[in-house]
Chain A
Amino acid sequence: MMSWGDLWALAWRGLTRRPVRTLLTALGITVAVASMVVFLSLGEGIRKVFTSELGGIGPDVQVSLSGFTQGFAPQPNLPETAVGDIQKLATELKITSVTPVVMSVRSSLDVSQSVVLYGLPAAQGISTVFPKIVPATGRALIAGDEGQKVAVVGAKAAENLRLKVGSTLNLTRRTSVKVVGVLAQESGLVDSFIFLPLRTLQDAEGATGRVSLVALKLENPRDARAVATALAKRLNLEASTQSDFLSFVERALRISDAVRFGISLIALIVGGLAVANTVMMGVFERTREFGTLRAIGARPGFVRALVLTESLLLALAGGVGGIILGLAGIWGVNLYTQNLAGIDAAALTPRLTLLALGISILLGLLSGLLPSRSASRISITDALGRV
């Protein structure tokens, strides 16, 4: 039997017979795969941001009324009395810090103007929840700031809202605060946060006596699940761990992955049909040639394999092109999201690369199914014609 190398070489020759047509079809696949790569890379990038951001920082357990059903930043609807209830259990459950938090997302049509307002007791300081963060200019929150109209802003928020130490920031029509510190760049979501003393944000939000969540640090972070379960049961509240949060993020990303994959699937199907069409035309054009090959001793299976290899090669060439074009697209997306929020929203992970290659191979095989079948069934006498 013929070796694989010979078969691939022959298939390549078959494709290069009509270079323009082959190139155009490969380009179709390239665009389809690139769109899929860029679409799916968004989910991968966001996954990376969350797993690396929250892996070592953020609360071990967070207690709220509604868990993650309201998303990342719940309404401030939890009575502040819960803080006291939790503190009573602190020794028993080995909780080292209990921090009430008010979160509020200020979204804007211009995404770069969107920020997260994060209120926490000034006396505890930002480092209770985000231990790695340090101010680049000005200072962090101090005990005396409680209830005062001051704010410490993340690096990206400062850049996008053009804030520096001494600037004034309008929280609502009636409330404005003074920037006392700008944080060093963290390359994460925290860069878009604006930290405020708890009372200040509660007043501005009209949420006196209520908080969004209570953030807990544990003596042993590995007990998070057990502590969360105990708290949820004893206080009749939702208590979630970091891994709950990550799996919430993962679920949300899965859904959006599916939607984005669905969109690129249309492009992939169109690309696959283009491959099938090109390969089929090649088969029709070469009916006599395939008939001759069969006549001089090629098995039907050889002709089938040859056409299938052509289809595979075409789709694979397009797929590799698509990954390269996708990389360029990802670079563009990240340039934009870096400016926006200081994060790389898109990432080409190894598994995404493998998926793109796998899809290309599948596309090639599926597209080649029909043309290769009809090529292998060519009747020799019909193909050679009656002489």
Chain B
Amino acid sequence: MVIRMAGEFNVLEHELVPEYHLLSEKEAEKVLKQLKLTKDQLPKTRITDPCIRTLDAIVGPVEEGMVVKIVRRSSTSGVSICYRLVVRG
């Protein structure tokens, strides 16, 4: 799913960068309902973050208020999933 952009390094391909998934409005709602959270209780990530900008270039426009799912390797649980709210910055 990751496409290299012309002459640019794709940060999402770096082995130290975790997987990023953009959630649709519906998916985000489902996740929030599941976790019994409101959007403002989620951890944040800036829209200017290189990962978010790359995501924006690959899977379409990422806007303020959208939720991304981040999957990373964990030394304690194998895989750990977390969600972040995209904010201005």
Decide if A and B are genuine partners. Answer: no
